[in-house]
């Protein structure tokens, strides 16, 4: 057995041998305070939902901007040069970028 399992078994055996103490009744105001505290704290699931919504909106905006840029540049790139001077200028610009 693993050492952790042996330690856990020993701890559980010691807990079984321990005397059981009588529990005192819970104060009347304690459940109300505990429930109020739990309800006042934002739930982690709500926080994750809010982050997910914000990330989806951001992703949608980024996608829209990317598509607009591609469409705008595709129109210019899809047009064939009208004469040899434009073709030479385009070729020189492509060579200088590399």
- Mean pLDDT, consecutive 10-residue stretches, the chain (98 aa), reads 80 87 81 80 74 95 94 73 70 74
Residue 50: phi and psi, rounded to 5, are: -65, -45
The three-state secondary structure class of 13 is: helix
pLDDT, position 41: 67
pLDDT, position 79: 67
Residue 27: phi and psi, rounded to 5, are: -60, 150
pLDDT, position 65: 96
């Amino acid at each position: 057995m693993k050492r952790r399992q042996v330690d856990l078994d020993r701890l559980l055996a010691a807990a079984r041998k321990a005397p059981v103490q009588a529990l005192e009744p819970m104060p009347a105001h304690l459940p109300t305070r505990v429930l109020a505290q739990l309800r006042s704290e934002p739930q982690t699931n709500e926080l994750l939902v809010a982050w997910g919504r914000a990330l989806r909106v951001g992703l949608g905006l980024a996608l829209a901007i990317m598509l607009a840029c591609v469409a705008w540049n595709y129109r210019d790139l899809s047009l064939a040069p009208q004469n040899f001077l434009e073709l030479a200028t385009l070729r020189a610009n492509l060579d200088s970028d590399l």
